[in-house]
Amino acid sequence: MSTSTRLGPQPARTDRPRQAALRVLQALIASDGRGTVATLNQALGGHANTIRVQLEHLVADGFVTQTSLPTPGRGRPARAYLATIAGRQVAGEEPDRQGQSALVEALAEHLAGTDDPAAAAHSVGLNWGSLLAASGGGELISILAGQGFTPLATSDGIALRTCPLLASARRYPDVVCGIHQGLIDAISHEPQELLPFVAAGACLIRHA
């Protein structure tokens, strides 16, 4: 099965763009995820060549793709840049997300060997979500984005397009997905159900 049609999300990237490139990436996403050197230069200021260099780094690292825009008449076509799912992930996540994910992953490994791993996992998720909510992380989608899930509101619910614990989730789905369900339960203002690995390229959250 190809990566594009495989059920479930992509693994969250653990590398991040350099700070200057991240600033360009965040500006690109703020402009609905698509832009040109000219539109980014208008938003960010500075020199267009500096923005162009950072875009080249982002393209090389897989955070951005580029395409040519049709132009009337002759002349070199302008290039448009589009943020990838990985680009949206790293642009929206909290800087210390990787440390938190490593801790949760180690905890998931431990919980998998307990007497009632699913119940323990849900309890851990509830505590984690309560802490995130208390820290002023915002609504469910913004908190999930900060934790590396790259959420997208769709007609089906909320698609989680990346997972910071994907390898562990495939080994111990009851534990890792139980933690994530607890996280959702602690943050959401209404009952929501996590449906792991049900869509091409995503897990889904739907109203329970």
pLDDT digits (tens, 9 = 90+) for 118-135: 999 999 999 999 999 988
Q: What is the pLDDT of residues 157-168, one digit of tens each?
A: 999 999 999 989
**pLDDT number for residue 208:** 82
How do residues 1-15 score in pLDDT, each as one tens digit? 334 457 999 999 999
Q: What is the pLDDT of residue 72?
A: 66
Fold classification of 11-91 is: Arc Repressor Mutant, subunit A (1.10.10)
Distance CA(205)–CA(164), nearest Å, equals 16
| 84-99 tens-digit pLDDT | 999 999 999 988 777 7
Quote the pLDDT of residue 102: 77
- SS3 (DSSP) at 11: strand
Q: State how far the Cα of 105 lies from the Cα of 123, in Å rounded to an integer.
A: 15
CA–CA gap between residue 87 and residue 101 (Å, rounded): 18
How many angstroms separate the CA atoms of 208 and 194, rounded?
A: 9
Average predicted confidence (pLDDT) for the chain: 90
Is 49 a residue whose pLDDT tops 70? yes
Contact 172, 112 (CB under 8 A): yes
State the Cα–Cα distance between residues 34 and 23, nearest whole angstrom. 14
Q: Where are the domains of the chain?
A: 11-91, 93-207
Q: In the prediction, which pLDDT does 3 show?
A: 41
Quote the tokens at residue 52.
């162009």
